Amino acid sequence: MLPLVDKPIIQYVVEEAVQSGIEQIIIVTAGGKRAIEDHFDRSFELESALARKGDQRLLKMVREISDLADICYIRQKEQLGVGHAILITRDLVGNEPFAVIFPDDVIESPTPCLKQMIDVYERYQCSVVAVERVPREEVYKYGVIKPRPVGERLFQVEGLVEKPPVEEAPSDLTIVGRYLINPEIFDLIAATPPGRLGEIQITDALSLLLQHQPIYAYEFEGRRYDTGTPLGFLKASVEVALQRPDLGAEFRRYLAGLQLD
Closest CA to 175 of 212, 205, 213, 211: 205
Query: Which domains, and CATH codes, for the chain?
Result: 3-239 (3.90.550.10)
Task: Provide the residue-wise pLDDT of the chain in tens; the chain has 261 residues.
Answer: 788 888 888 888 888 998 999 989 998 988 777 777 776 666 666 567 667 777 676 556 656 656 777 888 898 888 888 999 999 999 999 999 999 999 899 999 999 999 999 999 999 999 999 999 999 999 999 999 999 999 999 999 999 998 999 999 999 999 999 999 999 999 999 998 887 778 898 999 999 999 999 999 999 999 999 999 999 999 999 999 999 999 999 999 999 999 887
User: Phi first, then psi: what are they for 102, rounded to 5°?
Assistant: -90, 120
Residue positions counted in the chain: 261
pTM metric for this prediction? 0.87
* Separation CA 225–CA 219 (nearest Å): 15
**What is the pLDDT at residue 140?**
92
**What is the pLDDT at residue 209?**
95
**What is the pLDDT at residue 194?**
86
**What is the pLDDT at residue 259?**
82
- Please state whether 198 falls in left (phi above 0), alpha (psi between -120 and 50) or beta: left
Sign, CA dihedral 79-80-81-84, equals negative
**What is the pLDDT at residue 62?**
56
* Alpha helices per DSSP H over 81-229: 82-87, 90-93, 113-124, 185-190, 202-209
- Please state whether 255 falls in left (phi above 0), alpha (psi between -120 and 50) or beta: alpha
**What is the pLDDT at residue 42?**
61
**What is the pLDDT at residue 3?**
83
**What is the pLDDT at residue 50?**
61
**What is the pLDDT at residue 34?**
75
**What is the pLDDT at residue 6?**
81
Distances (CA, A) of 106 to 22, 233, 242: 17, 10, 16
User: Phi first, then psi: what are they for 161, rounded to 5°?
Assistant: -140, 140
C-alpha triplet 95, 212, 101: angle, nearest 5°: 50
**What is the pLDDT at residue 55?**
61
Closest CA to 114 of 14, 215, 261: 14
